[in-house]
Amino acid sequence: MTAAFHHIPVLLDSVIGALSEAGGSRFLDGTLGGAGHASALLRATGPDSILIGIDRDPSARAAAALRLAEFGDRVFIRAGRYADMSTLAADHAPFDGILLDIGVSSPQLDHPERGFSLRSDGPLDMRMDPTTGESAAELLDQLDEDALTTILRDYGEEPRAKRIARAILAGRPWQGTLALADAVAKASGYRNSRTHPATRTFQALRIAVNDELRQLERGLDAAIALLAPRGRLAVISFHSLEDRLVKQRFRTLAAVGTPRDEYGHPRIPAQVRLITRKPIRGAKQEPHNPRSRSASLRIVERLG
């Protein structure tokens, strides 16, 4: 699997331009993956730059190590979650640029044995790190109807969450991805959908299994704390839940829309400057890259 862990990094030019524009030599990629962004950033920033790469997927780390071998001791790869970057990367802080490319990667989707795919059969796993934690199958074995409905509604924004939850629970235990996807499709009642009827359900389960939204909240705050003055944080998200969370956190840190005093100054001091007031959309910037279709990039710069 290692050799095949490769995909075209989304919004590459926009990311590299934003993180290298202000100069600097210390960078952190909190979602290293196959190191597409990381290798381009190291090439763009000169021989004195270094990069810390974090990923919880062992296959991703192995592939990244091969791809980044040419950069020698300029690269430090750490195992773990980007939400824990304060511990994993503190020895090289502060950073001039930090990247978070949120969500599942193409190689994870393309390998049925990882359990993310709803079009190729594989074990119902969905863990970013397959060596730890509960799989999606194990999670489904424990949930009641109310809990599963909440997951499908909140994490998948699935309007037919209750009927789908009932069908899933009625078919337990689940082992394979295709069987679950077929059951969800039948229960949903969707016809002629542009996407597979189980897409939102699989998204919701993946988010729950990997605790993705809480990891994102923690990761955003940790990243801001690790930035040097004028350092930049770039975040790529792929669905509305993530993008909305990033947008709201960035606006809060930038004191946008916060109460003001009698002099018109925000009562909460701004910690960042918004580089992108509206997201850079992958569908517009990179129509040739299928994975970019739903990508949104937001960037902030730390003040002081």
> Where are the extended beta strands (E) located within 138-281?
227-237, 272-274, 280-281
pLDDT band of residue 112 (cuts 50, 70, 90) is: confident
Residue 170: strand, helix, or coil? helix
Percent of residues in the chain assigned helix, strand, coil, to nearest 5: 45, 15, 35
Mean pLDDT of the chain: 91
Please give the backbone phi and psi of residue 101, each rounded to the nearest 5 degrees, phi first: -110, 95
What global pTM score does this model have?
0.91
| % of the chain beyond a pLDDT of 90 | 76
Q: What is the Rg, in whole angstroms, of the alpha carbon atoms belonging to the chain?
A: 20
Query: Is 97's pLDDT higher than 80?
Result: yes
pLDDT band of residue 1 (cuts 50, 70, 90) is: very low
Of residues 281 and 263, which shows the higher confidence score? 281
Determine the distance from the C-alpha atom of residue 247 to the mean position of all C-alpha atoms in its chain, rounded to a whole number: 14
pLDDT at 3: 43
145-178 confidence digits (pLDDT tens): 999 999 999 999 999 999 999 999 999 999 899 9
Q: Supply the DSSP string of 227-260, one letter for each residue.
A: EEEEEEEEEEE-SHHHHHHHHHHHHHHTTTT--B
pLDDT at 135: 96
Q: Do residues 190 and 132 touch, judged by C-beta distance below 8 A? A: no
**Range with the lowest mean pLDDT among 22-36, 102-116, 203-217?**
102-116
Q: Do residues 14 and 227 touch, judged by C-beta distance below 8 A? A: no
pLDDT at 216: 97
**CA-based angle 73:56:230, to the nearest 5?**
60
Domains and CATH numbers, the chain: 2-107+212-302 (3.40.50.150), 117-210 (1.10.150.170)
In angstroms, rounded to a whole number, what is the distance separating the alpha carbons of residues 207 and 105?
A: 13
pLDDT band of residue 5 (cuts 50, 70, 90) is: low
In angstroms, rounded to a whole number, what is the distance separating the alpha carbons of residues 207 and 213?
A: 7
